[in-house]
Structure 1
Amino acid sequence: MQDSLRIVSLLERVLPEYVAPGFVQHSTWLQASPGIGLPSQQGFEGAVNPLVALLEESSGLSVTYWVMRQQALNGDIDTLNDLAWVWLNGKYWRADPALAGRLLRIAALQGSAAACFNLAQQHYFGRGVAVVYARVASFYRRAFDLGLVQAAARLGDLYDEQANAADVEPDWQREPKRAFDWYLQGAHKGDAGCRFEVGYRLLHGVDVPRDLKAGQYWLELAAVTGITAAAEELAVFHRFSGKTLRYLYWRDQAVSLGSERAINMKADDQLQVVQQA
């Protein structure tokens, strides 16, 4: 109870009573990588995010902010994360990465997976903080432990990356085994992107022993959830394996997902039929 009161008291001091609307165009870091992190409010895939819709459609951002501020003061850590997300990106009111980071840490300490993810993003893109990959990895792991499955994909990407930029710690080394392990954890938890990464690596023997059966298995799971590249890989694999029916099936699946590569493959196939007639 005392901890909750201390948090409320802290938030009353750090949350401004009002915000000035406006998108800050002159921020170099904002132009370089806009839209990082996650709001807590998540809509259906492909739909407009509920928080974004709320802010876009608001006739008075000051009123919307006041309501969100009250919700945060009443202990809603999802709203606290969402406020921090807006300050991190600076689209609806002036960006304040320092304030964003402070609010995210408060939300993270209270168990917000999205806040941990956003702290990782803040440190990865260097918004108001130094870029430190070890810290990024720590925040992503915390987000994953709290149930945010997509953090596994980001950890896989992070360990698959060789950091060489001037603003990144120079001793960060690519660790393909750890990358694959994180992709595999995400794949088992149902992340479609992770399933593609695991399937691709197993099918082609990238950083792991080649396993055609397992590679096809994971690519098929990714493809049926709409990962276009997975359907493409399966089509190409079966084409060169001489399995015509499977090739045609996955080629057409890739076409239905909007794959330009598969559309060109189908056009080539039709041309060959005409030439052979």
Structure 2
Amino acid sequence: MLLKPLTIILALLLLQNPVGAEEDPVRMNAEKRYEEFEVNDWFEEEAVKAKLKPLFDIIEQEELLDDNSQFYYAVDLYDAGEKENAFYFMYRLAQLGYSVPQFYIAYMYSAGEVVEQDYEEAVFWYLLSSMNGEVDAQLNLAYLFYYGEGVQADYEEAIYWFSQAAFNGDPDAQFELGYIYDIGQVVEEDNFKAIELYKMAARADHMAATYYLGLSYRDGDGVEKNLQTAYDHFKKAAELGHPTAMNEVGYSYLNGIGVNKNPQKAFEWFIKAKEQDEINAYFNLGLMYSKGIGVEKDYKKALDHYMVAAKANDAESLFYVGYYYEKGMGTGRNIRKAVYWYERAISHNSFAAMNNLATIHYNFNGRWKNKKKAQELWQQAAEQGYVLAQFNLGALYETGEPGVKNEQKAFEWYLKAAQQNDGESQYKVAQMFFEGVGTERNTEQYRYWLQQAADNNYQKAIDDLQALNQKTSLGGK
């Protein structure tokens, strides 16, 4: 690690003070001290020389006379656990104007390591080091301003220093700046800049940038959609150790997205992601065990994997744990536990859980019976577009008790589900058009929806359509 002597260039001072920055005493004092900084040999102080005389004797004996050698000696002291002595050596070199020791001193003050945590000192030394082009200092200074650690949050200042570090080739800064432009929360969204910055970082094997490039190509976000290129980036990020990318590679193999379908390879990648505690991998393994895809069907193992993801509040896994308890799959049937897990899933906006819990409240006797609650849950899920709830709400209005039964509302909800390509709902709509129930009789619409249901392999519709076609061919009406 080469030391760089400080060259103070006042023209490169911060772009501008944001509104309110003058009210931040930490920043004001650090910038004032920066402007007044002068190179000096701090070890000329008698008290310090006396304290470190034994170490200077070692330096003279080992002929560590140049500043570079003393820096590496300080690093050795630090690694050996003699952090206080290392700090004094670093501090001297920092006072002499060297950028890397300035970075280390800033880090120690920021982390409260060896010395008491002091953000004013941290900002001061990071600023000195950053203005001399030290990339690590520029990156850490950007983080301080971005997250408001010890100073007022200042996104403009943070972006300035991220940009400096990115320009100087730091992959972390390139990724962070790309992400800022990608999400567009503190600056105007700019997908082109985001992609270019991700690409820069990815060329240096930055695994998060490589993963985000995969997402961009998968979704067509800022680039032309290309599933094969997305897979290639996911694969590279996974090989670099990115757990979520490992799961994406598994998902690609499972569904044949950007690569040939291969359930065995999908399973292998899900296992690798699981070993890195990737929650989605637990869900996907549960799915494979549940359906016997690439592995032997095993409801117990499926439930075990769903349970891990459910405890991490994955909504789909919460639902499946409830479903397994309701149906007694991989465990004994337990409605109380099913209700518990469905309610937890609902708290994470699972419409499937709303539908199933409504069914329990409607069909079960005893403590669980609550038809009013069932209707409320079906209504809530149906309004969010959940097709099974729309069908069930239609059935409730079609066959419900007095005060609930409403054929017009039944038709409306069946129609919403039918428009989402649900075969049974399409058949119901066809029947209601044929009979004039809940809507006006319309034989043209009857034929249309009957055909739609048949195309979705709904057997009753297939049978009725065959009978209708046969009747028509014989000249009937």
Q: Shared topology, TM-score over 0.5? A: yes
Partner residue, 2:181? 159
SS of the residue aligned with 2:133? coil
- Tell me which residue corresponds to 2:239: 224
Tell me the distance in 1 between the aligned counterparts of 2:7 and 2:276. 51
Higher alpha-carbon deviation: 68-77 or 181-190: 68-77
Q: Matches of 1:101 and 1:176 in 2, distance apart?
A: 31
> What amino acid is aligned across from residue 239 of structure 1 in structure 2?
L
TM-score of the two chains, using structure 1 as the length reference: 0.70
Q: What is residue 65 of structure 1 aligned with on the other side?
A: 87
Q: How does 1:233-248 map to 2 (within 5 A)?
A: 233-241=248-256, 242-248=261-267
CA drift of 1:259 comes to 3.1
Matching of residues 165-180 of structure 1 within 5 Å: 172-180=187-195
Contact 2:39 2:96 in 1 (8 A): no
Aligned equivalent of 2:407: none
Say whether 1:259 aligns with 2:291: no
Map of 2:159 onto structure 1: 137
The within-5 A match list for 1:1-277 is 10-12=38-40, 54=78, 57-58=81-82, 62-163=84-185, 172-241=187-256, 242-271=261-290, 272=292, 273-274=296-297
Distance in 2 separating the partners of 1:94 and 1:159: 36
1:136 aligned partner, one-letter code: A
For 1:14-33, what per-residue CA distance to the aligned partner results, in whole angstroms no more than 9, with x for missing partners? 99988xxxxxxxxxxxxxxx
Alpha-carbon RMSD across the aligned residues, in angstroms, is 3.5
What displacement does 1:72 show?
A: 2.3
Q: Which has the higher contact order (CA 8 A, sep 6+)?
A: 1
User: Helix, strand or coil for the counterpart of 1:160?
Assistant: helix
Deviation at 1:221, TM superposition (A): 0.7
Give 1:46's aligned residue. Answer: none
Q: What is the letter of the counterpart of residue 153 of structure 2? A: V
- CA change 1:97–1:120 in 2 (3 A) is same
Asked whether the equivalents of residues 41 and 96 of structure 2 are also in contact (C-alpha less than 8 Å), the reply is: no
Q: Distance in 1 between matches of 2:7 and 2:132?
A: 13
Gaps of 5+ in 2: 9-33, 49-73, 300-477
3-state SS of paired residue (1:150): helix
Q: Which structure has the larger Rg over C-alpha atoms? A: 2
Structure 2 match to 1:167: none
**Once the two structures are aligned, what percentage of the paired residues are identical?**
17
TM-score between the two structures when normalised by the length of structure 2 = 0.43
